[in-house]
Structure 1
Amino acid sequence: MQLSVIILNYNVRYFLELCVLSVESALQNIDSEIIVVDNDSSDGSCQMLQSRFPNVKLIQNKENLGFPKGNNIGVSQAQGEYICILNPDTVVAEDTFEKVLTFAKNQKDLGIIGVKLIDGTGNFLPESKRGVPTPWVAFTKVSGLYKLFPKTNSFNKYYAQHLADNENGKVDILVGAFMFLKRELYQEAGGFDENCFMYSDDIDLSYRILQKGKSNYYFHQTTVIHYKGESTVKDGTYMKRFQDAMEFFYKKHFKVSVFFSAFMKIGIVFFSLAKTVQGKSMVKSISKSYLLLSATYELAKIIALVVQKKVDFLEWKTEKTVNLSSISIEKNTQVILDNEFVSFKDCIFILEVYRNKGITFRIIPKNSGFIIGSDSNSDRGEVVKMM
């Protein structure tokens, strides 16, 4: 078997359904398997998987065991030569895994491969590629110096700014939302460190892979949506776990002074507080108009009843992709993409084309009864049921 895709889920039933649907589409031509590890969800995630995706291997934990242990359990059941650790709040394109597999086979010193990640508004996520957060690099992040001097080598390492967003290359650290590597290497490295509940586990694994003499790669030629934070409520527990995760990494890998430890602790507190406030303060934008991309006009009428507003319709023909450059979409429009006719690859492309234009996006997964998406990478997404 070529590939095992491991998805760890915790109470994101609708995002999980969208994710697995996209993964199934991307694995059509690959000898593969999908393994979902559920950390004791209470939202019907497991029931949905059993009814809609009976071929998915489901592992049900009786408690929330955290990110590292949950993924380690999944990998222990995997059969693929390669594995992909994938978040449940992601959407992959139909050719994502084929492209990454081809790239992987051409690397002699392969460590981990990460891809270009965007949020639900189409904006690039800088954590797609990062440097080792040494004490100095961490200082540039916490202090904000990396923003002031993005082209200076001494300050731009946290987000690997030496490498352009649309450029393949070696990087140090990759994010756990999408990590592609050989199963044998994952096992040799010992997998994720289960002493860390979540948040710095991906940094730790990436760093340990580097210490084995392997190279980690950022691969920009496929884009994946990562809605971010769907499993995490940004409350006091989040803040405590974030602080513990950062302290875990530094204690494990670096000898630091008492002064630096105190500075970083203060910095982490302020950083995590900012994240907590950011997650609570987002004001949901209200769409003034709606545009459905589909081949079924009747669907626009159904959505109009749900949103209580008129829904404009643009016919999308699968055999001939619409020329997006010829379409004028007004600000404050919510574009709804019917995945029955609009491929996941086209959905991703549309998000990138219309990013930062005051437009929001939603997807109707194929053969489902809900509309899903997110308007911010700092807030939880939205699910609207149509039936």
Structure 2
Amino acid sequence: MKLSVIVVNHNMCSLLKQCLVTLTRACKDIEHQLIVIDDASTDKSVEMMQAEFPEATLIVNDHSVGMAAARNQGIEKANGEYVLLVNADTISGKKTIEQVVEFMDKHADAGGVGVRALTPRGRFMPDSRTGFTRGWAMLLKVTGLAKYFSKSRLYKHDENWIEEEEFATTEVDVINGAFMLLRRSALKEVGNLDERFIQYGHDIDLSFRLRLAGYKNYYYPRTYILNFAKQLVPKFTWNYIRKFYGAMIIFAGKYLFKMPEIKVPGMPQIFAPKYEIER
């Protein structure tokens, strides 16, 4: 099987339906399986899934386990050569999945790839390119871990570089978690998502582990997704603060007192690795 598509849902019934309709359309010419994990929704999501997407493998949790653990449930059921982790609030372009699968087929060194994300109004979302919010960028600067994320330009303050490189296919440090196409063999090598990152940060951690293992992460902007960026946990609440900033603490503790070595075949680890850019 070529592709396993994994979607985690929690109380996003209407958005989930839109997401699955566009994913099904985008995968129609690809041998694939669709896996949906409902993380203890209290709306009509499960009923909608059973009625309208009976072909999908549906996993229903009786209590919420969080995004990372729920995605791991899907990964354990995956049989595809590639695994696509996609958020339930995402709409895929008609050719998006076909194009990224083709890209991965041509780039054997790639552990994963992400695409250009737009808001429903068509505005470019910079974190689809960088993989970082400002909070995460600040954490990496303060802890000194930023030196391991050289492509993210965390020390630069030029606001124009994102616009200039929005349409450049390039190697990146982090693949945005809203849409991550991963090579399953690479995922088996580095391990599943770290479930200590309950809601946030698991995509950053996985991307970092892929690079440490010698794989490359790519940003492919020649296709796109629409991302509604629905906030599962309301900001300015203790639950959000605990999960968001807690993820940063876990990440810093996991790597700060180690000396990670990024493997670049054929290159001694003296200089920071160079990155490929295609225009």
| Aligned residue number for residue 99 of structure 1 | 99
Q: How far does residue 211 in structure 1 lie from its aligned partner after superposition?
A: 0.1
- CA-to-aligned-CA distance 1:235-282 (integer Å, 9 cap, x gap): 3211221110111111111139xxxxxxxxxxxxxxxxxxxxxxxxxx
Q: Deviations over 1:195-234 (max 9, x none)?
A: 1212111100000000001100000011100100243322
Q: 1:156 to 1:253 in 2, by over 3 A?
A: farther
Residue-pair matches, total: 247
CA 1:131–1:78: 2 relative to 1, 3 Å: closer
CA 1:106–1:176: 2 relative to 1, 3 Å: same
**Change in 2 beyond 3 A, CA 1:253/1:187:** same
Deviation at 1:158, TM superposition (A): 11
Amino acid corresponding to residue 252 of structure 1 in structure 2: K
Larger radius of gyration: 1
Question: Residues of 2 paired with 1:162 and 1:251: CA distance?
Answer: 33
1:40 aligns with 2:40: yes
Q: Distance in 2 between matches of 1:78 and 1:131?
A: 24
Q: For residue 113 of structure 2, what is the aligned residue in structure 1?
A: 113
* 1: CA distance, partners of 2:73 / 2:64: 12
- Verify the 8 A CA contact 2:136 2:248 in the aligned structure 1: no
Pair 1:70-2:70 in alignment = yes
Q: What CA RMSD, in Å, does the superposition of the two structures yield over aligned residues?
A: 2.7
2:257 corresponds to which residue? 255
Q: 1:201 to 1:119 in 2, by over 3 A?
A: same
> Does the CA contact (< 8 Å) of 1:131 and 1:160 recur in 2?
no
Name 1:382's counterpart in structure 2: none
Q: Report if the CA contact (8 A) 1:111-1:216 is conserved.
A: yes
Which of 1 and 2 has higher RCO (CA within 8 Å, sep 6+)? Answer: 2
- The alpha carbon displacement at 1:194 in A equals 0.9
What is the match of residue 170 of structure 1? 171
Q: What's the secondary structure of 2:165's corresponding residue?
A: coil
The TM-score normalised by the length of structure 1 is: 0.60
- Per the alignment, residue 232 of structure 1 pairs with 233
3-state DSSP of counterpart to 1:129? helix
**Any residues of structure 2 matched to 1:234-313 within 5 Å, and which?**
234=235, 235-255=237-257
CA 1:58–1:157: 2 relative to 1, 3 Å: farther
**2:102 counterpart letter in structure 1:** T
Q: Which runs of 5+ in 1 are unaligned?
A: 143-150, 257-387
Q: Which residue of 1 aligns with 2:58?
A: 58
Q: Residues 85 and 34 of structure 1: is their aligned pair in 2 closer, same or farther, counting only changes over 3 Å?
A: same
Distance 2:105 2:13 in 1: 34
Distance between the aligned counterparts of 1:153 and 1:193, measured in 2?
24
**In the alignment, which residue of structure 1 is the partner of 2:202?**
201
- Matched with 2:4 is 4
Distance (whole Å) between structure 1 residues aligned to residue 118 and residue 58 of structure 2? 27
1:314-353 aligned at under 5 Å gives the runs: none
The letter of the residue matching 1:98 is E
Offset of residue 141 of structure 1:
7.7
Q: Which amino acid aligns with 1:244?
A: G
Q: Where does the alignment leave 5 or more consecutive residues of structure 2 unmatched?
A: 143-151, 259-279
CA distance in 1, matches of 2:73, 2:203: 16
How far, CA to CA, are the matches of 2:74 and 2:139 in structure 1? Answer: 35
Judge conservation of contact 1:156–1:162 (CA < 8 Å) in 2.
no
With over 3 angstroms needed to count, the CA separation of the structure-2 counterparts of 1:198 and 1:34, relative to structure 1, is same
TM-score by length of 2: 0.82
Deviation of 1:140 (Å): 8.5
Q: CA deviation at 1:180?
A: 0.4
Deviation at 1:61, TM superposition (A): 1.1
Percent of aligned positions with the same letter in both sequences?
33
Q: Secondary structure at the match of 2:130?
A: coil
* Distance in structure 1 (CA, Å) of the matches to 2:221 and 2:153: 22
- After TM superposition, the structure 1 = structure 2 runs for residues 123-138 of structure 1, keeping only pairs within 5 Å, are 123-130=123-130, 137-138=137-138
Rate the CA distance shift 1:126–1:105 in 2: closer, same or farther, 3 A. Answer: same
Match for 1:11: what amino acid? N
Whether contact under 8 Å (1:7, 1:85) holds in the other structure is: yes
2: CA distance, partners of 1:180 / 1:85: 6
Once the two structures are TM-superposed, the CA of residue 130 in structure 1 deviates from its matched residue by 2.0
Letter in 1 for 2:81: E
Checking the alignment, whether the CA contact within 8 Å between 1:6 and 1:75 is kept in structure 2 is yes
Letter in 2 for 1:238: Y
Output the CA distance in 2 between the equivalents of 1:115 and 1:240: 29
Check 1:163–1:70 CA distance in 2 against 1; reply closer, same or farther (3 A cut): farther
